[in-house]
Structure 1
Amino acid sequence: MTVIRHSETRRTETPSGIMTTLASPNQGGSSLSLWRVEMGPGKSGPLHFIDVEQIWTIVTGRAEIDLNGTDLVAEAGDTAVLPADVLRQITSGPEGVTAIVTAPANARAGTPDTDTTVVPPWIA
């Protein structure tokens, strides 16, 4: 068993939010990654896909999810299961959003305008 102390979490800031890695292969040796997403009011992440299933549980606020052209809304207490290889864009509601997210540790992300995929730093 591994205990990852709060002081050992890893923060990654992007233009759309802050991702705090809670567990990953490089942090606790897990085969799953777990991170917290915090987005301010009205922020949008990029249009992208993840090559594995991803699960978002909304802790506070609201997430508006464009899932391959279908608009979904997840609010505090809701959980959204996002399928692999489907374009998505997450936008925070008027109060922002905080979510806990998990995916397999080898998850790769890409955008529709490039053939390259990467493991985001908060998943590694």
Structure 2
Amino acid sequence: MPVIRSADARITTTPNGVITTYASPTQGGTNAALWRVDMTPATSAPYHAFESEQIWTILTGGLTADLDGEKLTATTGDTLVFPADLPRQVHADTETGFSAIVTAPAGARAYNPNDTTPPGTCDIAPKDAERILPPWMI
């Protein structure tokens, strides 16, 4: 499908934000998924890792990302490249939150990168458990 209409965007609401899928395998994309993340101020995504690289471009606001022990900050217009299999956690700016466009290979799955994550910080299965395909990438 060469044109995916805005009315066909799929919205997924999580405790941490709203994800709007613009292209994915079930919407006409075959090699990549493209989605928007909107997080309100002072919210955080779960601690997790992905099997593939992800590229995030910040449209508005800002975030701090903990990437394998390194703190990264990004604001409007900045792009983050998250390598595959590195643990990460994204935190929305406490005053502005953020909106970002994200892309990754279709079919990439998320997982908990270790078995010792503190309780309440990860709602994704441990690394030895089944990995999940997030609904915005289906």
TM-score, with structure 1 as normaliser: 0.97
Larger radius of gyration: 2
RMSD: 0.9
SS in 1 for 2:96: strand
> In proportion to residue count, which structure has more helix?
2
- Where structure 1 has 5 or more consecutive residues not aligned to the other structure, the ranges are none
4+ runs deviating over 4 angstroms: none
- Displacement of 1:30: 2.7
Q: Does 1:102 align with 2:116?
A: no
Q: 2:134 aligns with which of 107, 120, 123?
A: 120
Q: Number of aligned pairs?
A: 124
> In proportion to residue count, which structure has more strand?
1
Q: Distance in 2 between matches of 1:41 and 1:21?
A: 21
Q: Deviations over 1:32-68 (max 9, x none)?
A: 0000000000110000000100000000000110001
SS in 2 for 1:99: strand
Q: Does 1:2 align with 2:2?
A: yes
Q: How high is the sequence identity, in percent, across the aligned residues?
A: 52
- Where structure 2 has 5 or more consecutive residues not aligned to the other structure, the ranges are 116-125
Query: Which is worse superposed, 112-121 or 88-97?
Result: 112-121
SS in 2 for 1:122: helix
